[in-house]
Amino acid sequence: MEPILELKHIHYAYHTPEGETTALCDISFSVDSGEFIAIVGPSGCGKSTLLSIICGLLEPERGLIKLNGKYLRQSTTNIGYMLQHDHLFEWRTVYNNVLLGLEIQHMLSAKTRAKAHELLELYGLKQFENAKPSELSGGMRQRAALIRTLVLDPDILLLDEPFSALDYQTRLTVGDDIGQILRQAGKTAILVTHDLSEAVSLADRILVLTPRPATIASAIPVTFHLEHDTPMQRRNAPEFKTYFNQIWKELNPYA
Ligand code: ADP
């Protein structure tokens, strides 16, 4: 089966009046459909730059990117992006926030509106459709932001530290919750995080990056032998600590 995403020998440097900062160096990896990849690495190593390159916001200096076998610029593969802040508009209801992407992309129709209602119901926000974002908890806001992305039916989702603005308790439940939603929906996802336990609880594979310029230090497949492979079950499984320690050592070789 052809991978949904393929990166080969990607290089990227920022050019500023102060000089050149190489952020990515020879990054190659591929992602299969339905796979959940986590990318971890030291702060400032180039993780967000990598996501910006995958969604076409930045052009790599060298290397190629293919989505479903087509070069990025020719691809019709739909990419969704979820950021640290939910960017919900306070002057719009939850339902109208969920419709925002559809409006921007001129995709509003009876069918897509029905889909928005369906997702709000499926993910427990139906009774908040007419509420303002300020009436929702942090976790519910993040769900609303996810629904706004999912209603566009993305083939691949890029998640840039989407839980890091939440407090620790909320972050655990929301991370687990959203991880399960994405898995049940069979979505392909790439999650950038500095939280190793989040990576181990959610991912099928973890890419560990070196300090800047980022190269791939290792790609670690994550397998848990659980009847119900949920993030919460993973956190309680014996393998969890083993994976956590392995990645910790990769990131802190001299600690
Ligand atoms: P991470 O997401 O891993 O924290 P980034 O991808 O945001 O790292 O940034 C990688 C490196 O590139 C950082 O060292 C940062 O200083 C530099 N960088 C990021 N954006 C810019 C920019 N617009 N101009 C110049 N340098 C940048």
Beta partners for residue 82, in sequence order: 159
The predicted model gives 43-68 an average pLDDT of 93
CA of 160, closest atom in ligand 1: 2
- Confidence grade of residue 86 (pLDDT, cut at 50, 70, 90): confident
| Average pLDDT over all residues of the chain | 92
138: nearest Cα among 102, 101, 175:
175
Model-level pTM? 0.91
Q: Which residues line ligand 1 (CB under 6 A)?
A: 14, 16, 21, 23, 41, 43-49, 212
- Other C-beta atoms lying within 10 Å of the C-beta of residue 5: 24
By CB atoms closer than 10 A (0-12, 13-18, 19+), residue 60 is: buried
Complete edge-to-edge strand list for the sheet that includes strand 36-40:
79-82, 156-160, 188-192, 36-40, 205-209, 216-221
Q: Whose CA is nearest to atom 4 of ligand 1?
A: 44
- The residue to which tokens 């009876």 are assigned: 110
Model pLDDT, residue 162: 83
Q: Which of the two residues, 128 and 142, has the higher pLDDT score?
A: 128
Give the whole-angstrom CA distance, residue 22 versus residue 62: 12
Distance 20 CA to ligand 1 centre (A): 11
Distance 196 CA to ligand 1 centre (A): 21
Distance 109 CA to ligand 1 centre (A): 39
The predicted model gives 141-157 an average pLDDT of 91
Distance 22 CA to ligand 1 centre (A): 9
The predicted model gives 223-231 an average pLDDT of 91
Q: Give whole-number Cα distances, 140 to 12, 85, 95, 102, 163, in Å.
A: 36, 13, 13, 20, 12
Model pLDDT, residue 173: 82
Model pLDDT, residue 47: 94
